Amino acid sequence: MALNASQIDGDGTSGYNKFGYTIGTVIAQNLQNKWQYETGIAFSERGSRYPFNPDLPRKPAFHYCYQSVDIPLFFNKTIDSRWKAGVGIRTTFLIKAQEMEGMHLNVQQDSRKTGLLVCAKAQYKVNKTLSYRVELQYSMVSVAATPAGSLFFPTGAYHNCISAGIQYSVSSKAE
């Protein structure tokens, strides 16, 4: 379970000000030389948000919300008894996309149904069953199905997310 702070690069704003979450399950298998692979399934919410700013009244407020099923694949390296680092990908399958302010009415139809995020993570083991986890995610393909130059995403649209949370293990056999 994790809290996501995200933005969409190319939406004309900046800042990780759209909050969402990830909840799911992972399966890990130890390999040789303190390496491990990890996969699973998760439900995630990412997006972007720009609240109304009275100092910039011509820039419209927006609030994009993307909900997806993610299938992660990571390769992790155990650094020491408490730390683990990993790199991987998340394949995403769009369930729902909407713009909460009502400016972009066809966001579901204008969104790519599958995506691919490249990820890096660090994990700190608190005890045998509980770990803290931080993950950086960035899309390799545009969220928007329309080409760059569209009204809503003039330079393309790429998820950019920081995810921080906890991981609970039911088996302590994993390094």
Q: Confirm or reject CATH 3.40.50.880 for domain 2-168, answering yes or no.
A: no
CA distance 10 to 147: 12
Q: For residue range 87-98, what is the model confidence (pLDDT) as tens digits?
A: 999 999 999 999
* C-alpha distance across the termini of the chain, in Å: 20
Q: What is the 3-state secondary structure (H, E, C) of 33-45?
A: CCEEEEEEEEEEE
pLDDT on residue 164: 98
Percent of residues, the chain, with pLDDT higher than 70: 89
pLDDT on residue 12: 64
Which of residues 61 and 12 earns the better pLDDT score? 61
Q: For residue range 109-136, what is the model confidence (pLDDT) as tens digits?
A: 888 999 999 999 999 999 999 999 999 9
Q: Residue ranges per domain, the chain?
A: 2-168
Q: What is the pTM of this model?
A: 0.88
Q: For residue range 52-79, what is the model confidence (pLDDT) as tens digits?
A: 888 888 877 888 899 999 999 999 999 9
